[in-house]
A and B are shown apart, each in its own frame.
Chain A
Amino acid sequence: MVGFWKRFKADKIALIVSGFLGIVVISALLAPFISPYDPTVLDIGNKFAEPSTAHWFGTDQLGRDTFSRILWGGRVTVLLSIVTMMCTIGIGIILGFTAGYFRGWIDEIVMRICDIMLSFPSEVLILTMVGILGTGIVNIVIATVIAKWPWYVRMIRSIVIQFMEKNYIRFAKVSGCSIGHIVRKHVLPGAIGEIGVLATLDTGSIILNISALSFLGLGVQAPTAEWGMMLNEAKSIMITNPQNMLPPGIAIFLVVAAFNFLGDSIQEALNPQLDKSYKIKRQSIFKRKKEMA
């Protein structure tokens, strides 16, 4: 673990993006205290104001302060994405460890359920779930968790199986250590790093997911600020007032990019033996992600 921090600190990109994400999360948490205006208070006489010292990012079609809305929107977008990620990872860890540790029929059942779930395209599954549950941000989180957990179970299970093959764990088993002890002392510390990488990389895609659903009008309802919804509102005035699209668009772009960079840096710091060929591969993954975004 010491080596990890040393390598992580040496990586400039890692420091910049984790600093940036830190600021984003803190400002999202502190939005009620630091935002200059109430994000839902209208001032119609002052709509479409240009950026100024009073309104850093200008105002929207109802005269609401865009900067305040970005701050409050970050609360919804970023914090809920993190919550979603934690729920998904939680389910993934529990089921993945169970399946990977015990194997046998438990493994069969869990994996077959995962197979079934994975056979649906996740976007379609999410849309269907939201259709059934009704619109609303909580429902989006539930739908996203339901659609994503099988993938995590599968990934975490394979990580656990890797460890179970190792000699020191076999030794621990033979010498009669309890399941809890083995998982806590031997498997979890080894696996947690890789799970962290998985989680960080995917938080970006969850942010995109939640924003996309809000953009479609399925997520938060007015007047709550949310980045995807702000984009949606700006869309209908795209031609007359294009500047309204920029703040939420750039915010989503930067945060998602930062999470992706962070995930990569963590992975690199965890596995310094990853050679150049990996780095090249990583870059190509990046390109793909960008294209998807």
Chain B
Amino acid sequence: MKKIMISVLAVAMLFSVLVGCTSQGNNEESTKDQINYASTKDIRDINPHLYSGEMAAQNMVFEGLTKNEGGEVKPALAESWKISDDGLEYTFHLREDVQFTDGEPFNAEAVKLNMDAIIDNSERHAWLDMINEIEENVVVDTYTFKLVLKHPYYPTLVELGLTRPFRFISPKCFVDGATKDTVSGYVGTGPWILSEHKENQYATFTRNEDYWGDKAKVSSVNWKVMPDPQTILLAMQNGEIDLLFGADGDQIDLESYKKLEEEEFYKTYLSDPIASRAILLNSNAPVTKDVKVREAIQYAVNKDNIITGILNNSEDKAETLMAKNVPYCDIELKTFSHNKDKANKTLDEAGWVLGSDGIREKDGLKCEITFSYNSQNAQEGTIAQSIQADLADIGIKMNILGEEKQAFLDRQKSGDFDLQYSLSWGTPYDPQSYISSWRIPAHGDYQAQVGLEKKAWLDETITKIMIEADYTKRSEMYEEVLTYINDQCVYVPISYSKTKAVSIMGLKGVTFNDSQYEISFEKMHF
């Protein structure tokens, strides 16, 4: 009898808890003023002058002089600017109604302090040529700042608007007059204030009530960390999160995206093609250093299979590394369409002979290569398997190595790979910043190109492009560089990727910024 009583009680209690939960949920629904966003990654250290933080979070808090919007450079903290005729002096007129969220005024002095702090760490920013081009930062008067360059560096305004590093943090947060090691707080001028951060759990951003521009429409954003994409999906179905946003496949895979698309409770968004998805072929590795092998791989990869079968047609097929609508990239290049016979012929001609085990061989060297990828990204693994089957068809044995992210990145930096996945950074980085980074040894692109005969020429030309003031000459040089890289088959272009977002029905105003790494939370509302 006692037992029955207890179980009845237990059931009753459980029921009340459940009821309590649902009614609470309903209340939240009607007065929703907070966006719950889930990411596989923590925001980490969002110091705008360093690279370890999440860019989307850095973009919420910090702003630059300019911003990139709709493919153009628009004023942000600088109201207007004037460029001297020789292209060496940029005079910025700053907004006068801006202050950092700790009360510190935003003026030319603050700009200079920040710019000096960034240059102080120029080694870390080497991927961006702009750093080396800055001659001097000058305070003209309280609200006028002058940037003096060494050469007429053409992408200056675009790069000043990038998410990092040219963004401004309150001078009060500097530690010993610098920002390169650490900062004492994350205070910017942006539409959001970072109010709470619990590492690897969550971060809360509240609206900046004194924001100079259009204020954010909801009062706060809750950034929740959920390391597994499947967990995020479950959380979305349970109503714990309102928004999912991500460019690379580790936030949401396409199968899940497709499923949510079919459900009526969610709204899915797909951006315009934004970046290039490609496979890097290392020209400095034993097998792939043979340009004929690289060419054969170009012919062998069945892109249509990947696009329709794995990417569910959500991305456009890429024939060249850069899409034609990217500035300077509308040029005629040789394309390699899927052709197994041609692939086989290329290898035969190059002296790779089919062995008895079905693997080609040349001078005792087996045609065996390894594709390494970040194992977090299941979609990349699936694409790799598809390529593996394509290559097996032409007698190339490809091993797939899914590694933990850090191991993968180390491999990228040291060049210890045959094939790797490469995602260009998309607008506004393409092509100038992306190509510029080809010269930096810490990048996989550099490592993959280092075996090329004309690598020194390539780097020199890229350096020249950046400071070439004449548009026509610049275009010609871009064409030379892109043609050479294309003919050397260092990249197997797969697709032009699109940023994906999924929100619950009630969330409105979900849009994409130019940069795939930014999320414009301030425009969203319920």
CA of A40 to CA of B385, assembled, Å: 9
Contacts A41-B389, A221-B399 hold; do A236 and B230 have CB atoms under 8 A apart? Answer: yes
Establish whether residues A44 and B399, one from each chain, have CB atoms under 8 Å apart when the complex forms.
Answer: no
Query: Which B residues lie within 8 Å of A127 (CB)?
Result: none
Does B233 count as interface, using CB distance less than 8 angstroms? yes
Q: Interface-forming stretch among A86-94, A115-123, A237-245?
A: A237-245
In the complex, per-residue mask of A29-73: 1 if CB is within 8 Å of any chain B CB, else 0: 000000000001110110100000000000001110000000000
A residues whose Cβ falls under 8 Å from a Cβ of B: 40-42, 44-45, 47, 61-63, 135, 217, 221-223, 233, 235-241
Interface size class of B (residues with CB under 8 A): 20 to 34
Does B8 count as interface, using CB distance less than 8 angstroms? no
Contact of A42 among B308, B375, B389, B402 (CB under 8 A): B389
* Nearest 5 A/B pairs, CB to CB: A44-B309, A236-B378, A222-B400, A240-B255, A240-B259
Contact of B309 among A63, A236, A238, A241 (CB under 8 A): A63
Contact of B255 among A42, A45, A61 (CB under 8 A): A61
CA of A240 to CA of B308, assembled, Å: 18
Establish whether residues B388 and A222, one from each chain, have CB atoms under 8 Å apart when the complex forms.
Answer: yes
**CB<8 Å pairs between A and B, sample of 10:** A42-B305, A62-B382, A62-B385, A223-B385, A233-B381, A236-B253, A237-B378, A238-B230, A239-B230, A240-B258
Establish whether residues B401 and A44, one from each chain, have CB atoms under 8 Å apart when the complex forms.
Answer: no
Establish whether residues A239 and B256, one from each chain, have CB atoms under 8 Å apart when the complex forms.
Answer: yes
Residue of B nearest to A238 (CB): B230
Contact of B229 among A61, A62, A233, A236 (CB under 8 A): A236
CA of A44 to CA of B255, assembled, Å: 13
Establish whether residues B382 and A61, one from each chain, have CB atoms under 8 Å apart when the complex forms.
Answer: yes
CA of A45 to CA of B312, assembled, Å: 10
Establish whether residues A235 and B400, one from each chain, have CB atoms under 8 Å apart when the complex forms.
Answer: no
Query: Which B residues lie within 8 Å of A61 (CB)?
Result: 255, 382
Contacts A47-B309, A236-B378 hold; do A241 and B386 have CB atoms under 8 A apart? Answer: no
Establish whether residues B386 and A222, one from each chain, have CB atoms under 8 Å apart when the complex forms.
Answer: no
Does B505 count as interface, using CB distance less than 8 angstroms? no
Establish whether residues B233 and A44, one from each chain, have CB atoms under 8 Å apart when the complex forms.
Answer: no
Establish whether residues B310 and A44, one from each chain, have CB atoms under 8 Å apart when the complex forms.
Answer: yes
Does B384 count as interface, using CB distance less than 8 angstroms? yes
Establish whether residues B402 and A217, one from each chain, have CB atoms under 8 Å apart when the complex forms.
Answer: yes
Establish whether residues A239 and B389, one from each chain, have CB atoms under 8 Å apart when the complex forms.
Answer: no
Query: Which A residues lie within 8 Å of B378 (CB)?
Result: 233, 236-237
Establish whether residues B259 and A44, one from each chain, have CB atoms under 8 Å apart when the complex forms.
Answer: no
B residues whose Cβ falls under 8 Å from a Cβ of A: 229-230, 233-234, 237, 253, 255-256, 258-259, 305, 308-310, 375, 378, 381-382, 384-386, 388-389, 392, 399-402
Residue of A nearest to B389 (CB): A42
Query: Which A residues lie within 8 Å of B310 (CB)?
Result: 44, 62
Query: Which B residues lie within 8 Å of A235 (CB)?
Result: 230
Contacts A236-B378, A240-B255 hold; do A62 and B230 have CB atoms under 8 A apart? Answer: no
CA of A239 to CA of B229, assembled, Å: 10
Contact of A222 among B259, B309, B381 (CB under 8 A): B381
CA of A44 to CA of B304, assembled, Å: 10
Query: Which A residues lie within 8 Å of B230 (CB)?
Result: 235-236, 238-239
CA of A235 to CA of B402, assembled, Å: 15
Establish whether residues A241 and B384, one from each chain, have CB atoms under 8 Å apart when the complex forms.
Answer: no
Establish whether residues A223 and B309, one from each chain, have CB atoms under 8 Å apart when the complex forms.
Answer: no
Establish whether residues A222 and B229, one from each chain, have CB atoms under 8 Å apart when the complex forms.
Answer: no
Establish whether residues B385 and A222, one from each chain, have CB atoms under 8 Å apart when the complex forms.
Answer: yes
CA of A176 to CA of B384, assembled, Å: 67
CA of A73 to CA of B47, assembled, Å: 48
Of B310, B385, B399, B401, most A-chain CB atoms within 10 Å: B385
Of B258, B382, B388, B399, most A-chain CB atoms within 10 Å: B382
Q: How far is the CB of A34 from chain B (nearest CB, A)?
A: 22
Query: Which B residues lie within 8 Å of A63 (CB)?
Result: 309
CA of A217 to CA of B381, assembled, Å: 11
Residue of A nearest to B258 (CB): A240
- 13 further A-B contacts with Cβ under 8 Å, apart from A62-B382, A238-B230, are A41-B389, A42-B386, A44-B386, A61-B382, A62-B309, A135-B401, A221-B401, A223-B388, A223-B400, A237-B256, A239-B256, A240-B259, A241-B255
Establish whether residues B386 and A237, one from each chain, have CB atoms under 8 Å apart when the complex forms.
Answer: no
Establish whether residues A40 and B389, one from each chain, have CB atoms under 8 Å apart when the complex forms.
Answer: yes
Establish whether residues A44 and B402, one from each chain, have CB atoms under 8 Å apart when the complex forms.
Answer: no
Contact of A62 among B237, B258, B386 (CB under 8 A): B386
Residue of A nearest to B257 (CB): A240
Query: Which B residues lie within 8 Å of A237 (CB)?
Result: 253, 255-256, 378
Residue of A nearest to B256 (CB): A240
Q: How far is the CB of B392 from chain A (nearest CB, A)?
A: 8
Establish whether residues A44 and B305, one from each chain, have CB atoms under 8 Å apart when the complex forms.
Answer: yes
CA of A131 to CA of B310, assembled, Å: 32
Residue of A nearest to B255 (CB): A240
CA of A241 to CA of B389, assembled, Å: 23
Q: How far is the CB of B71 from chain A (nearest CB, A)?
A: 35
CA of A105 to CA of B378, assembled, Å: 54
CA of A2 to CA of B490, assembled, Å: 71
Query: Which B residues lie within 8 Å of A40 (CB)?
Result: 389, 392
